[in-house]
Amino acid sequence: MYLADEAWPDLESYFESESLALVPLGSTEQHGPHLPEATDHLIAESFARAAAEDTGYLCTPTISVGVSPHHRQFHGTMWADAPAFRDYVESITRNLSYHGIDRVVFVNAHGGNVEHLREVGRRLRDDGTMYAIEWMWDESITDLIEAAFETPGPHGGPKETSLVQYLAPELVHEDRIEDARDGGLREFDESTGRVHGARTFYDAIDNTENGVLGDQTDASAEVGEELFEAALSNLCHLCEWLADQRFEDLLPKAHV
């Protein structure tokens, strides 16, 4: 069920019988010369709405601008300052508790949001309002991604390229795939940008001239479909697990 499509009287039965909602979040930021700036929020919404359809749980509208100042040098990137993002997400998530929701899955597709969603979840849990947990699609299928790509890349690489080729192929500039690889940073690991153990970079452009990492020529819509279905299965199982928990068991443990 997609909340924004429903008239308010038709939502009453959901809130009477269910207490879980999916909240998709992404970003509006550069994803190289070949992918749309909508990449992250397009992916997040696709997962959340598909999971809602498969499970019957409620999906809210998507938060499409995230914490992305590290991509600001590239045209069109939008971002929210981290404190404002946290407060906004917390506020609209608390809105759901007013209607009876006491557990939320943040369906996230932007790495820059992760730590802030975890903080929001902690605030909501610590005051007993609800249990909100962050879910990141690629972190749920790491083995599959490693098997599919030699250099998956954390941003604008073949894993995101494959998903968008599957979900919205009309938005992919296929003629720029090789340019994305050749103008970006193909190899990226924990040693990249580090000097004597210190992480010296703050922005994406410090490491990659065109904003992307990995080898995009490994991408395909067929692989994207495989990744999507595998991650979607994990998301649906997470929702069912969370719905089955006693709310009291999700709250912080008592002081020793």
26-51: average pLDDT: 98
Task: Enumerate domains of the chain plus CATH numbers.
Answer: 3-250 (3.40.50.10310)
Looking at the chain, the whole-number percentage of residues with pLDDT higher than 90 is 92
Examine the pLDDT at 153 and tell me if it is beyond 90: no
Q: Which residues does 140 contact at the CB level (< 8 Å), separation at least 6?
A: 230, 231, 234, 235
The per-residue pLDDT for 135 is 98
Examine the pLDDT at 188 and tell me if it is beyond 90: no
pLDDT band at 214 (very low <50, low <70, confident <90, very high): very high
The per-residue pLDDT for 131 is 98
pTM: 0.95
Q: Report d(CA 158, CA 21) in Å as an integer.
A: 30
**How many residues would you count in the chain?**
256
Asked if 180 and 32 touch (Cβ cutoff 8 Å), the reply is yes
SS3 145: helix
Q: Report d(CA 251, CA 228) in Å as an integer.
A: 31
pLDDT band at 69 (very low <50, low <70, confident <90, very high): very high
The per-residue pLDDT for 3 is 98
The mean pLDDT of the chain is: 96
Closest CA to 20 of 234, 250, 232, 227: 250
Over residues 234-244, the pLDDT tens digits come to: 999 999 999 99
86-112: average pLDDT: 97
The per-residue pLDDT for 189 is 79
